[in-house]
Each structure stands twice: as structure tokens, then as C-alpha cells.
Chains A and B, each alone.
Chain A
Amino acid sequence: MTDRAATPITLGTDSNRLAYTGRALAPSVQASITRRWGWWLYAEYRLINMRAYLQTILIRAIGLPLLYLSSMGLGLGNLVDAGAGGVDGVSYLVFVGPGLLVSSIVMEATGEFTFPVMSGFKWQKHYFAAAASPLTPAQIALGEVAAVGLRFIAETVIFWLALLLFGAVVSPASWLVVLIAPLAALAFGAPLLAFAATQTDEGTQFSFIQRFIVMPMFLFAGTFFPLTAMPWYLQWVGWVSPMWHGTQLARVVCYGMANPWWLTVVHMAVLVGCTAGGVWAAIRVFTRRLRR
């Protein structure tokens, strides 16, 4: 087989072996598999592609929780507990832990759904490569979300284990953060994916998002202190941030934060709504751009 390249082309001794070996599935079978599983086939590719920077992902996934919890949780917690005697009836570490978990996963979404998306359409064009296969643009968008969502789940599990290690969770229901944080990250990330997919020029739009949306969300949307520590005219920042809704849910399951049932429903509704809306918009934009 391997010496075929050296065979002079004119001989054609193994003619039809390369083009049709007969070993591939029939095209109609290929098409019917991709119709059903196309989204997963693309997700699979994205997960394999992430292996290229697996090291960085792992260092971040393990390093960030340890870093945040030992500095913000313990160091800063020491100051807060000495000053105010804890927050919301628990130590600062227990209060800030779920917030740090949710916000760091949400911030991962910024990395995944900005420049890599522009690369897919413009630099490396791997979306166009996929679109030339039987996959549909909708499946590519869904696969993108699914792969990144799976990565978020894995990262959340690691962060949750770090919370356990630091003794920062007190409720047995805390494992639910494994679903809550990735959902919050997609609630922010899916609309961002749709936006990034509309962008054709590498300008400053992504660093503006980082500086004027993500950073303020991290600092002002309830991660480090309750919204009520801010004047009323600033509290809307939390209400419009998926990060805050996710953090509040995480606090409910991690230390049983008192929360009226209807508000818990609102948090869930916002996260599911933003995710669904974002995915819907992303599918539309991908279809428009890959089928023009």
C-alpha cells in the first residue's frame, strides 16, 4: 500500500482502489448518519481540537480554583470575617466560593466564544471546511456549544472538588453546581457566540467586551459581595448578568442561601432563556454566513 506513491502514474495497476475502495459507507448512509448525529460529530472534532491546548486548559482548570480560593477565599476572607464577621450568616470563604466558581466558568466562555469563532470564519476557516461536508450550519453551531459546554462541565467538577478541599461547601446538594455553572456560562456564551459569528473584522470589539462587560460583571455582579452592598441604582448590573443569576443559584445549593422560590425560578428561567435564545441566534447567523 505504502509504496503506491512511487508507482508511475501511467501504469494504473491498482486503478479504482484509491478512489473507490468500496470500504467507505454508501453516501446515502453517510448522509443519514450526519443528519442525526452531525452536531455530535462536530462537537467531537472540537473536543479533539482542544487537545492541542490541553495543557493550558488543565493548568487553568486546576490552578484557578486553588489560586482564587487561597487568595480571595482565605486571604480576603480573613479581612472580611474580621471586619464584618462573615457574610449572609456564613464565613466569607463559603460565601465567595460559589461566586468564584460560577464567575470563573463564565469568564472561560469569553475566551472560547470570541477569537476562536473569528478564526473559524476568517483565519483558519474550519467552519467552512465543515460546511463543505454533509454537516449543516445549524449542526456546526450546536456542536460548538455542546463541545464547549462539556469542557465547562469538566472544569466545574474540578472547581467543585477544590471547594470541597477548602471546606467551602456545607450542603450535600452542592454537586448541582456542576450543571448550574456551565448553564450560566452558556447563558452568557451562546449569545456571545452569535455576536462573534456576525463579526468580520478583527477590531477591538472583543477586548471591549472583555473590559466593559465581562470585567464589570465579574466585579459588580454579586461575586464578591451581595448586590445589596451597592446603591440601588447599580443593582441592575446583577439582574442583567447571567453570572449573578448563576452565582445565586450556586449559593442556594452550596450553603442553602435563603432565596424565595419564585426568585430561584427566575434565575433558572433567565439562564435557560439566554442559552436558548443565544443558540437560536447562533444557528441563524451560522446558517446565513455559511450558506450565502
Chain B
Amino acid sequence: MSVIEARGLVKSYGDLNAVDGIDFEVAAGESFGLLGPNGAGKSTTMRMIGGTSLRTAGTLTVLGMDPEVQGPDVRANLGVIPQQDNLDTELRCRENLITYGRYFGLPRAYLQQRADDLLAFAQLTEKANEKVDNLSGGMKRRLTIARGLINEPRILLLDEPTTGLDPQARHILWDRLFRLKEEGVTLVVTTHFMDEAEQLCDRLVVMDHGRIVAEGSPAQLIREHSTREVLEVRFGSDRNAAVVEQLADLAERIEVLPDRVLLYSADGEAALEHVRGRGLNPVTSLVRRSSLEDVFLRLTGRSLID
């Protein structure tokens, strides 16, 4: 059973189609990703799901309801984690959770208990009476997520959950989200990080310029649009392009980036042997598994983060 269903969804701002006719479904309990660079239309799609952005065309149902018509009912089922934390810096951590819960008409007695549970979940119990300004970036993010859970939502919308966090803070956050997933919460995640999508998403769509360019599980997408391994070699910025012709037959596909050359091959080590065998000694070399980054490069001809 799908909890979110979009058909021909369009959002225009003037001449610009931020979202340009997309279709997707999200199943109950699924962890669904919207992957794409900045400006691909991910956040706009998220806001349309919450009914806080009015669509230009198409149909959209959330739990069988139209968010534009039954906004309060839809949002009572949602937990929204915006791209930028919008915590109230004039209130303390616990107060943030409780005051936000009041927006849902939830009684205080419930909220007191719930706030404590969520602070524990977010590993912020000791910070309950701390001012928001005194929290680290990762802590603020976890508090925002805890706040999004205050109403026991069935669907959690996470817009770029770990952007701007350091690696350790990201892992703590993924750990918490993973747990929610285990508990059966439907997660909808936007991200421009490949590793995040691979960590969190059962299934994802790749968006570019407001359109969906591919869809599937991370493993499926890599299998369909890339090779098992990738060899990255650097010959120095002035030589990279010149060397490529001599490498053409060593890989299924070659991408030349400004600073390095990517060779897509089932066996990266073997390819590297061949490169060396031809007397082309790269300054640096790296063999790695294919990632969604490679999928994106293949699908759009562009690097994700630029």
C-alpha cells in the first residue's frame, strides 16, 4: 500500500519549472530517497507533500488525502525536518519540543512524557534545559528531528538531514534514523550525498532539473548505470585529456573530469595494470566500488556537487 502517490506533479515559479512533471509512489514503512544536486526540485517536492507549497499541476495524495485540501489532517500525520533548523533559540531544548507539540493540539501531560522520551532518543537528555544556541550543529539537527517526531507521525520528511555536519555527527544521526526505519516509520529523505542515500534509502529517484532521471534501489541503480568498480587516475591537469585516447579500450566507459580520469570497469585493479603496462604512470591512482555519484555522472553528464 502506498502512503504517498504523485502523478504528473508540476510546480512552476513564473517561467521556471522547479518540478517538471514527476510520478512516484512511496510505500508504507519504506525509506524513500530524492537524490539530486541543489536546485533539482527536491525541497519543493517535499513542501508539496506537506501542503506548504501549492502545486501547479498534477495530483498528489498523502495517506489518501490531498494535502492542499486537507492540510491539517495530512500534516498531523507528518513530521517535517526542514533543510535549515528553525528551532526557537529563545527557548530551551525541552521547551522547543513541548511548544511545538502544542501546534498539534496535543495535551501537555502527553507532551511532558513524550519530550523526555524524544530527548533520550536524540541523546540530548542532559541538554534538556540548555539553550538551543549552546548546542553543536549535530545536536541541533537531532533536536529538530526529535521535534518532528513529537506527534508520532507516520511519515517523516527529512530535507537534507546531514548537510553541514561533520562525519561523526552524520553517523550518529544516521544511526537514529535507521532506528526509526526499523520501527516502521516511513522516511522520505532528500539528499545530495551519495553515501547518505546508500545508507538510508531502500529505494530512490534521481532528480535533475525538476525531472526524475532514474529510479530504483541504490544497488539496482549502480548495476544498471555503472560498472562494479571504478579506477580513478590522475596524470596532472594538463595531461589528463591527452592521455585518454590511449586508455579508450581499457574500460567500458571513461569520464574525464577537470582533475582526474575515471575508468569504469568490472575489475579496477586489472585496468590499472594495463594502464601501467602501457608506460603511462599516473601521479595517483585509486580503485573503488561504483557509487551513486557515478550513476549521477552517467545520467546527467555532470558531477553532483559543483
Contact = CB atoms under 8 A, between A and B. Distances in A.
Interface string A1-45: 111110001001001111111011101111101110110011011
A48 interface: yes
Contact of B80 (A12, A132, A290): A132
B91 A9 contact: no
Interface stretch (A121-129, A254-262, A275-283): A121-129
A1 B76 contact: no
Interface stretch (B179-187, B190-198, B252-260, B284-292): B179-187
Contact of A27 (B77, B125, B175): B77
Interface string B86-109: 111111000100011011111100
A129 B101 CA distance: 11
Nearest to B178: A9
Contacts of B179: 9, 12, 18
A133 B103 contact: yes
A248 interface: no
B113 A34 contact: no
Nearest to B132: A124
B121 interface: yes
Contact of A37 (B90, B105, B121): B105
A153 interface: no
A129 to B, nearest CB: 4
Contacts of A53: 90
Nearest to A290: B52
A16 B184 contact: yes
Interface in A101-150: 124-126, 128-136
Nearest to B80: A132
Interface stretch (B67-75, B228-236, B298-306): B67-75
B180 A18 contact: yes
B120 A2 contact: yes
B86 A129 contact: yes
Is chain A's interface secondary structure helix, strand, loop, or mixed overall?
helix
B185 A131 contact: no
Given A28-B73, A49-B91, A124-B88, A41 B149 contact: no
Contacts of A33: 104-105
Contacts of A136: 71-72
Contacts of B87: 124, 129
B120 A129 contact: no
A23 B117 CA distance: 12
A250 to B, nearest CB: 33
Given A9-B179, A45-B99, A45-B102, A31 B52 contact: no
B261 to A, nearest CB: 40
B50 A132 contact: yes
B150 to A, nearest CB: 8
A9 B123 CA distance: 13
Contacts of B117: 1, 4, 18, 21
Contacts of B149: 18-19
Interface in A33-73: 33-35, 37-38, 41-42, 44-45, 48-49, 52-53
B102 A132 contact: no
Contacts of A12: 179, 182-183
A223 B117 CA distance: 55
B102 A41 contact: yes
Interface in B133-177: 149, 151-152, 154, 175
Contacts of B99: 44-45, 48-49
Contacts of B184: 15-16, 19-20
B185 A19 contact: yes
Interface of B: 50-54, 70-73, 75-78, 80, 82, 84, 86-91, 95, 99-100, 102-107, 110, 113-114, 116-118, 120-121, 123, 125, 149, 151-152, 154, 175, 178-180, 182-185
25 contacts: A2-B116, A3-B120, A9-B182, A15-B184, A16-B183, A16-B184, A20-B152, A20-B184, A21-B117, A23-B114, A24-B106, A25-B104, A28-B73, A30-B76, A30-B106, A34-B72, A37-B105, A44-B102, A49-B91, A52-B91, A128-B82, A132-B75, A134-B72, A135-B103, A291-B53
> Across chains A and B, which 9 residue pairs bring their CB atoms closest together, nearest first?
A33-B105, A134-B72, A133-B103, A52-B90, A132-B80, A125-B86, A27-B76, A30-B76, A19-B183
